[in-house]
């Protein structure tokens, strides 16, 4: 059986991504060919540093549809990156390199080279402009995707925020019935199509204990009507729940996914429970995009102590 390739952008060059990639390739057998977009010199430097040996095949992005892509090989699209053969601190100097990697990836994805995409971590404040608070929003904009959802996925429990990378002071203005309903539909469809299950969805409130003394109560005016509409239309939604108790073991085990109103409301508990055993999925894009659920970890660069579990889960999810 032929397996579509998994396309990987290595991300921030001064990150632990190559280290966790090497550990992943040592630990699991992958059926799908891997096509990596990144610097050959940087890859070889880190392979030597970590004493890792693996086949590399240079491929031409212009002829990639006609080239042989191999398993048990890093099929590499080389992107030039200038460095001094040593580990460096993250800086703005990486921006053009990362830009080029994403441009190549999006070009190949738009041409249906594959529907499987992984990106390594980047430093948001060094790479992204202010109009893109995260790679989730960056990819949505680049693919002209208006409706998308961030899912932090683990097979036992997942979470999704209604609003993503927003300051707290801006959240209340963004939450609407329309947005909640759109996000829940995307999440539901993602589970149905990719996991073949009808998900049981818990929805949090916005305010502590789902209560507010203000004249406008978001639970009563926005969240509860949204849940009623979704239930009436066949979606298995329950709530609103107070986020301070929803993640207790005997409550969370009743659900496939918990949907919160903002980023840290659900991502904080999720990472506390599962640590590196979760992946970041963007639902709604023309392809399945996954990233390991952690940052560049600059302070651990070159030390050979980074945990590869999230990248392992990302590749396993796409290895079909």
Q: Which domains does the chain carry?
A: 1-145+285-320 (3.40.718.10), 151-280 (3.40.718.10)
Residue 17's nearest CA partner among 38, 48, 40, 41 is 38
Q: How many angstroms separate the CA atoms of 208 and 165, rounded?
A: 20
Question: What average pLDDT does the chain have?
Answer: 93
- pLDDT band of residue 1 (cuts 50, 70, 90) is very low
Mean pLDDT, residues 280-287:
96
Q: Report pLDDT digits (tens) over 247-270.
A: 999 999 999 999 999 999 999 999
Instruction: Say which residue, 232 or 67, is predicted with more confidence.
Output: 232
Instruction: Say which residue, 298 or 148, is predicted with more confidence.
Output: 148
Q: How far is CA 311 from CA 33, 58, 198, 308, in A?
A: 15, 23, 26, 6
Q: Is the pLDDT of residue 45 over 90?
A: yes
Mean pLDDT, residues 207-227:
89
- pLDDT band of residue 131 (cuts 50, 70, 90) is confident
Q: What is the pTM of this model?
A: 0.92
Ranges 38-52, 74-88, 187-201, 205-219: which has the least confidence: 205-219
Q: What is the pLDDT of residue 273?
A: 96
The single residue listed with the structure tokens 């402009």 is: 129
- Residue 147 has phi, psi (to 5 degrees) of -110, 115
Q: Is the pLDDT of residue 150 over 50?
A: yes
Q: Is the pLDDT of residue 155 over 50?
A: yes
């Amino acid at each position: 059986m032929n397996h579509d390739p998994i396309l990987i952008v290595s991300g921030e060059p001064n990150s632990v991504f190559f280290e966790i990639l090497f550990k992943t390739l040592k630990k699991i057998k992958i059926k799908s060919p891997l096509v990596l977009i990144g610097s050959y010199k940087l890859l070889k430097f880190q392979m030597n540093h970590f004493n890792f040996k693996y086949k590399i095949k240079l491929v031409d992005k212009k002829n990639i549809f006609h080239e042989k892509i191999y398993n048990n090989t890093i099929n590499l699209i080389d992107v030039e990156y200038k460095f001094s053969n040593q580990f460096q601190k993250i800086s703005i100097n990486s921006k053009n390199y990362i830009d080029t990697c994403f441009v190549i990836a999006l070009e190949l994805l738009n041409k249906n080279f594959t529907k499987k995409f992984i990106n390594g971590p980047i430093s948001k404040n060094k790479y992204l402009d202010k109009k893109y608070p995260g790679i989730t929003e960056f990819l949505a904009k680049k693919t002209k995707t208006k409706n998308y959802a961030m899912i932090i996925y683990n097979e036992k429990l997942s979470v999704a925020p209604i609003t993503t990378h927003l300051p707290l002071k801006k959240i209340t203005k963004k939450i609407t019935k329309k947005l909640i309903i759109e996000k829940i539909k995307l999440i539901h469809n993602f589970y149905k199509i990719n996991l073949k299950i009808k998900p049981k969805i818990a929805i949090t409130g916005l305010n502590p204990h789902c209560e507010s003394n203000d004249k406008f109560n978001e639970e009563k005016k926005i969240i509860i009507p949204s849940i009623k509409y979704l239930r009436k239309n066949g979606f298995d939604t329950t709530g609103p729940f107070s986020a301070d108790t929803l993640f207790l073991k005997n409550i969370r085990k009743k659900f496939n996914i918990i949907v919160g109103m903002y980023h840290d409301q659900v991502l904080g508990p999720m990472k506390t429970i599962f640590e590196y055993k979760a992946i970041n999925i963007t639902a709604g894009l023309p392809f399945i995009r996954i990233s390991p659920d952690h940052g560049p970890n600059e302070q651990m660069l070159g030390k050979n102590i980074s945990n590869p579990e999230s990248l392992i889960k990302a590749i396993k999810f796409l290895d079909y």
